[in-house]
Structure 1
Amino acid sequence: MKQIKLKGKDIFNGTRLLGPGKVLILQEDGVVAGIVAESAAGDSVQELDGVLCPGFINTHCHLELSHMKGLIPEKTGLPSFLTQVMQSRNNNTGDYNAIIDQAEQAMWEAGISAIGDICNGTATLVKKQQGRMYYHSFVECMGVADAGANSRYQYSLDVLAVFREINSSRHQCSIVPHAPYSVSQTLFELLAGTPANTPVCIHNQETAAENELFQQKTGDFLNFYRQFGMDVSGFQPTGTNSLEAYLPYFSQNKILLVHNTFTTEQDVRFAQQQPLETWWCLCPQANLYIENRLPDIPLLRQLQCNITLGTDSLASNHSLSIWEEIKTIRQYFPEIPLAEILQWATFNGAKALGIQDTYGSFNTGSQPGVILINQESRRII
């Protein structure tokens, strides 16, 4: 079988930079055959101007909101942002499938190979049936009233069943809670009791109003509930931050905590004491777009958290590019080594989604896709 031999200025293998003088060898179908010294690579080596890297893993995306690009003003805060999403998400007048096609194509060209994608319905079903990229569909469930928990849960189970019918090795799915402020205690219990349902994910501490709600049952979310006629009379504040209130439901599972913009050291240490595998997904551009604030990334590093990267949606971001997220992190935290951030974007993301045997590294036998990084990132395989 013909081989593809690639040499860049360096090779990042998923966990570290290997240094110059190495050649990545692939089979024709993109499966990694190995990495060897240039002197042992033989002829027909393609020399490229940049760093070779496995395809990126976008662990948090809302592909179904791609039609909302540019519709919501920046820096309004999360409750206002959510209000506008709920009021506008069904106002699309364009070709929905074409918009989703364009968004996926942009991710593909920017080097993304696998996506953890939030779904509230089946809008992305056709795209995922095509099997071009790997998707884990996180079917999102929400409902603040305990009385409506069973019907809300059943609706999301029905959506989950549709996604489970996708017959592809490039697709998995699970049912997940939307956020602490949008899921009742009864619904949390139903979701946590769902069998064979991993990983789960949740929008975590994306705004200060979330912690305030759980601490005192005050703040901006009460106005949000009133505006949409939501009954939160049964909600009782726990006197803690939100994470302590819900995380114990998911013991023995794997959970992806997304955003973490207002997560504290106490929250992280509490999470680390729980009997579950915890991953912390950063979406810095969306955090700046909505709250004009970034998570305490130095704290997460100091406490040795498992970190991954996501893009959120085109309703809250200017692009669905992991490289742009990396550039933002490097702008605000230049002390973080590039290799460490690349690991968050590749191997860590793959491990969080449970696909590390195929994606996120150049380990022999994997098929992660290959991107070339110089000033930008672009797919070459």
Structure 2
Amino acid sequence: MNFSKPKPDTTQTYRAGWLLPISSPPIKDARITVVGGVVAKVESFSANAGNASVIDLGNVAMMPRFVNAHTHLEFSDCSEPIGAPGIALADWIGEVIRARGVSDETSRQAAIAKGVQESADAGVGLIGDIATTPSAYPDSIDPLIVSFAEVLGLSLDRHRERLAGAATHHQALLVSSSVFSAISPHAPYSTPPDVIAECSRRANQHGVPLAIHLAESPDERELLDHASGPFAASLRRAGVWREGIFPYTDDSIPSILETLAPAPAVLLIHGNDLSEREIEIISQHRQMSVVYCPRTHHFFGHDRHPVADLLRSGVRVALGTDSRASNPDLSIWEEVRFLLQKRQDIDPQQVLAMATLMGAEALMFGSPRAVSSRLQKRAIGQLVPGKTRFDSLLMVPTAGKQLDSVFADFSATETSQLKFCSANRPSDGHNTDN
């Protein structure tokens, strides 16, 4: 059966067991009024009974689609993670380079398209993607994408080439309505300090986010502070060691944070090895966010992630999947389930915010600092009456009568059990009268 788009003045009312707007408190037994496909009003069902026809969605919790704040879509053709669980980061990077040595632009675009579709199927509405330039996305895109042009290379020729590619990438995306430009100096072990500074300058100039892999492991810190350890050995074996870059300083990570500070939004990817002092510095810069990839962190066997300390310090923490090179899939919902099961020290409502609103804020959606008005006006990762389309919401099955029971149900609910709302028809709902 075909369903036409709702007319602008079409009004429909839905009832759901729970509504989780994210930016406001959960509503039990919720009433959602939709006008022309846009959520116009949310309230407790008992607050305004009325006599209008209602579509009862039953035992579900409704919430916004997810935000994957960090991934590498070009690795979406990996059938399983590269390397054995517990592999050292420096060794894993070498394995990735060897595994991807035969990759070309055509295979990369095919992998990206596969990753976009997998993300959409998993309820992701916004992706922060690290892109090897030149890079392109499918013509028809469901999730919005913030595409970070990756800049790396310890040699002058390599990082100059990548900086030029980032400039071309930015210009090409100015006309896109669904893919937004950003920049990523890959990591301090692959990108010289002056190039990181240049990326920060460009992010500030264009009003776009910047992402950098930082504090991934103690081995990274040993390289940056002392020019020694497994990373130094790996770079020398690969023949890319360049004298005069390492060590950065005696206080490398705080120095890097200071270099990044001019950028309007900074995503610090992973942050597995952040110290208390570094967390305090980050907390003083509201434009900085940490992106935590729980299952990738678990794959490498890192020490316990300081995510709870970051949240207590007021640092925005978003969730990412990293890539299929270190993760079995691209489902942010599975990252949520992992945290609900493994990190009971984090409030479940914060976990959901990390999977939605905090990711959107990290990527500058709704930010007044964004140069693009398209970013300023978007309500992503939250339900905002008057801005949120009904078909941008998800339904998670739950018969829970209290929030703790709802979250217990969530931890047991697989990605395949999530359902999408439709403004054109009810999804497993039925008509009732109040």
Answer whether TM exceeds 0.5 for this pair.
yes
From 107, 117, 121, the equivalent of 2:133 is 121
Cα deviation, residue 252, structure 1: 3.0
- 1:111-150 matched pairs, under 5 angstroms: 111-123=123-135, 125-127=136-138, 129-145=139-155, 149-150=159-160
Name the structure 1 match of 2:253. 243
Name the structure 2 match of 1:224. 234
Distance (Å, rounded) in 2 between the aligned partners of 1:189 and 1:335: 36
Name the structure 2 match of 1:91. 102
SS, match of residue 126 in structure 1: coil
Aligned length in residues: 375
Cα deviation, residue 335, structure 1: 3.2
| Matching of residue 373 in structure 1 with residue 381 in structure 2 | no
SS, match of residue 331 in structure 1: helix
Work out whether residues 110 and 379 of structure 1, in 8 Å CA contact, stay in contact via their aligned partners in 2.
no
Cα deviation, residue 37, structure 1: 3.0
SS, match of residue 358 in structure 1: coil
Asked which structure has the greater CA Rg, the reply is: 2
Distance (Å, rounded) in 1 between the aligned partners of 2:91 and 2:12: 50
Cα deviation, residue 90, structure 1: 4.2
Unpaired runs of at least 5, structure 1: none
| Matching of residue 256 in structure 1 with residue 267 in structure 2 | yes
- 1:149-228 matched pairs, under 5 angstroms: 149-162=159-172, 164=173, 166-168=175-177, 170-194=178-202, 195-228=205-238
Distance (Å, rounded) in 2 between the aligned partners of 1:360 and 1:279: 16
Give the TM-score normalised by the residue count of structure 2.
0.80
Distance (Å, rounded) in 2 between the aligned partners of 1:4 and 1:219: 62
| Matching of residue 24 in structure 1 with residue 27 in structure 2 | no
| Matching of residue 327 in structure 1 with residue 333 in structure 2 | no
Paired letter, 1:214: L
| Matching of residue 57 in structure 1 with residue 57 in structure 2 | no
Cα deviation, residue 4, structure 1: 4.5
| Matching of residue 10 in structure 1 with residue 48 in structure 2 | no
Unpaired runs of at least 5, structure 2: 1-8, 367-377, 398-412, 422-434
Give the TM-score normalised by the residue count of structure 1.
0.90
Name the structure 2 match of 1:270. 281
SS, match of residue 349 in structure 1: helix
Distance (Å, rounded) in 2 between the aligned partners of 1:147 and 1:107: 35
Distance (Å, rounded) in 1 between the aligned partners of 2:336 and 2:291: 13
Name the structure 2 match of 1:80. 91
> CA RMSD of the aligned region, Å?
2.4
The alpha-carbon distance between structure 1 residues 34 and 157, as it changes in their structure 2 partners (threshold 3 A), is same
Distance (Å, rounded) in 1 between the aligned partners of 2:96 and 2:236: 16
Percent of aligned pairs with the same amino acid: 23
Cα deviation, residue 96, structure 1: 5.5
SS, match of residue 87 in structure 2: coil
Distance (Å, rounded) in 2 between the aligned partners of 1:280 and 1:14: 19
Cα deviation, residue 21, structure 1: 2.2
| Matching of residue 35 in structure 1 with residue 60 in structure 2 | no
Cα deviation, residue 186, structure 1: 2.2
Cα deviation, residue 151, structure 1: 3.5
Name the structure 2 match of 1:359. 380
Cα deviation, residue 235, structure 1: 1.3
The alpha-carbon distance between structure 1 residues 241 and 2, as it changes in their structure 2 partners (threshold 3 A), is farther
